[in-house]
Amino acid sequence: MTRARYSQVSLDSTSYYHCICRCVRRAFLCGQDHYSGQDYEHRRQWVVDRLAVLGEVFAIDLCAYAVMSNHYHAVLRINQKKALGWSDQEVAERWMQLFNGPLIVKRWLKGETEAAQDLKAEEIVQTWRERLYDLGWFMKCLNEYLARKANEEDCCKGRFWESRYKCQALLDEKAVLQCMAYVDLNPVRAAMEETPEESDYTSIQQRSEAISQGDGDNKQRPALLPMVHASNAEVEDDETVCRFRLMDYLELVDSTE
């Protein structure tokens, strides 16, 4: 029996979650379909681009990701503290990057409302604030966008995803790191690539290239929650993945491969 997503997400227990979403009938999300001859490789970039956009809007950090042929993985951290620290105006501006807000909020942002209207606008903005650290809304904004784009390209209608996204709570640091390594090694285990560094559209390749290329990496990539390295050794605990050293994580992935 399926469980409501809100019952699977408890910020009192953990802020880290592993989400998986698979295409209906295991159809091809990305890559080459050897049966039909269709090439959907370009859709990988759709996923990465959308993750980048949502990462700039939501108070949800991306720790790891892998875009496979018929599904994708994402390890996410809900940053409630960050969302609660935003001003009402910033919340409204963030939300309206994705949705066309009501006229009353638009007028409120311009300072054209009266006291009673201010209260209504602030009530709406408070709802948006809660949504901006809600895992369900993040996944909705990701999956609906991808489904509409794929259906438009395929000139069809109907369900694109097999079911609701699967969600697994990661209750401690060990679980977070093991899950991240599992996600980063997915292309290798699926025999799509020989090494993690060669695995396109994965966070492990992104982290590896950031080390070798530094600021010279101009690829469109989503922002990853950083790990500790020499240049950010003094950052706060909530600004990195479990205060874990990047080089130690890369060694963990190599030893698990």
Residue pair 184/177 in contact (Cβ under 8 Å)? The answer is no
Q: Is the dihedral of CA 238, 242, 247, 249 positive or negative?
A: negative
- The β-bridge partners of 169 are 17
Nearest Cα neighbor of 252 from 174, 192, 187, 189 is: 174
Pairwise CA distance, residues 19 & 30, whole Å: 18
**pLDDT digit string (tens) for 95-113?**
999 999 999 999 999 999 8
Higher pLDDT, 163 or 57: 57
pLDDT value, residue 16:
96
Whether domain 13-81+133-256 has CATH 1.10.540.10: no
In the chain, where the domains are located = 13-81+133-256, 87-131
What pTM value is reported for the model?
0.89
> How does residue 233 score in pLDDT terms, banded at 50, 70 and 90?
low
**pLDDT digit string (tens) for 40-77?**
888 889 999 999 999 999 999 999 999 998 899 999 99
Residue 174 pLDDT exceeds 80: yes
pLDDT value, residue 214:
65
Backbone phi, psi, residue 182, to 5°: -60, -45
Residue 217 pLDDT exceeds 60: no
Residue 162 pLDDT exceeds 70: yes
Higher pLDDT, 214 or 15: 15
Beta-carbon contacts of 246 under 8 Å, excluding residues fewer than 6 positions away, are: 207, 211, 226, 227, 228, 229
